[in-house]
C-alpha cells in the first residue's frame, strides 16, 4: 500500500475540463485521490487519465470514502469541477457539496476547476438502479440522479 502521508495529497471531484489541471500546483511523482463519479464513473476515468498525462499518480476512491480520508488527515487540498460560479456559490458536479463541507470542517482549501461542460443536469434513474446490465436495486425502486448541485460560497472560501 502507498504511504500517502509522505506526499502532498489532492482530492479531485467531478469531470474537470481539458487544461484545468494547469491551474493546480501539482508536481511530478505526487499522488492524488480521484472520486469515482457515480453513477457513470466518468470522473474516475477522465480525471485520472489527465493526471497520468501530467505525471501524477491517481488513486480512485469510491465517492463515499472521502470522509475517511479527511479524518485520517490525508487531504491537503480539494479540487472540484465547476460548471458556473458567482459570489453566492458554484454549480458543481454532484458530490461537491459534501466535499466542500468536509473541507471547511477540516480547514482544507477548496479550488474550483472548470468542468467538462454538461449537456444534461439530471441522469436516467436506471444509471443507479443497475450497473453493467445487472440490477442493483429491487424491482419498483425509484432512482433520483441529479448530475449537478449548488455549493454555497461559505464552503468555498480558501483557508
- For 155, phi then psi, to 5°, come to -95, -5
Q: Which of 5-14, 105-114, 123-132 has the lowest mean pLDDT?
A: 5-14
Q: Does the pLDDT value for residue 159 go beyond 70?
A: no
3-state secondary structure (DSSP) of residue 145: coil
The residue among 80, 96, 82, 76 whose CA lies nearest residue 30 is 76
- For 147, phi then psi, to 5°, come to -100, -10
Q: What is the mean pLDDT of residues 93-101?
A: 94
pTM equals 0.85
- For 105, phi then psi, to 5°, come to -65, -40
> What is the share, in percent, of the chain residues with pLDDT greater than 90?
47
Q: Which of 4-18, 85-99, 116-130, 136-150 has the lowest mean pLDDT?
A: 4-18
What pLDDT was estimated at residue 29?
56
β-partners of residue 122 are: 146
63 catalytic? Reply is no
What pLDDT was estimated at residue 102?
96
List the catalytic residue out of 3, 63, 86, 124. 86
What pLDDT was estimated at residue 105?
94
Q: Could you report the per-residue pLDDT of 23-50, keeping only the tens digit for each?
A: 776 655 567 899 998 888 888 999 999 8
Distance CA 64, CA 75 (A): 14
Cell 489527465: give the residue.
50
What pLDDT was estimated at residue 1?
44
Peptide bond just before 31 cis, omega within 30 deg: no
Amino acid at each position: 500500500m502507498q504511504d500517502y502521508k509522505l506526499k502532498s495529497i489532492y482530492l479531485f471531484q467531478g469531470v474537470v475540463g481539458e487544461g484545468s489541471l494547469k491551474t493546480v500546483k501539482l508536481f511530478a511523482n505526487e499522488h492524488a485521490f480521484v472520486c469515482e463519479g457515480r453513477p457513470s464513473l466518468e470522473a474516475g476515468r477522465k480525471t485520472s487519465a489527465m493526471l497520468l498525462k501530467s505525471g501524477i499518480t491517481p488513486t480512485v476512491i469510491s465517492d463515499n470514502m472521502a470522509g475517511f480520508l479527511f479524518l485520517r488527515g490525508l487531504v491537503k487540498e480539494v479540487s472540484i469541477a465547476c460548471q458556473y460560479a458567482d459570489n453566492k456559490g458554484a454549480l458543481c458536479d454532484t458530490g461537491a457539496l459534501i466535499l466542500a463541507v468536509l473541507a471547511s470542517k477540516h480547514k482544507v482549501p477548496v479550488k474550483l476547476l472548470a468542468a467538462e461542460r454538461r449537456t444534461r443536469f439530471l441522469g436516467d434513474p436506471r444509471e443507479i438502479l443497475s450497473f453493467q446490465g445487472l440490477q442493483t436495486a429491487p424491482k419498483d425502486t425509484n432512482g433520483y440522479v441529479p448530475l449537478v448541485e449548488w455549493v454555497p460560497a461559505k464552503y468555498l472560501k480558501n483557508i
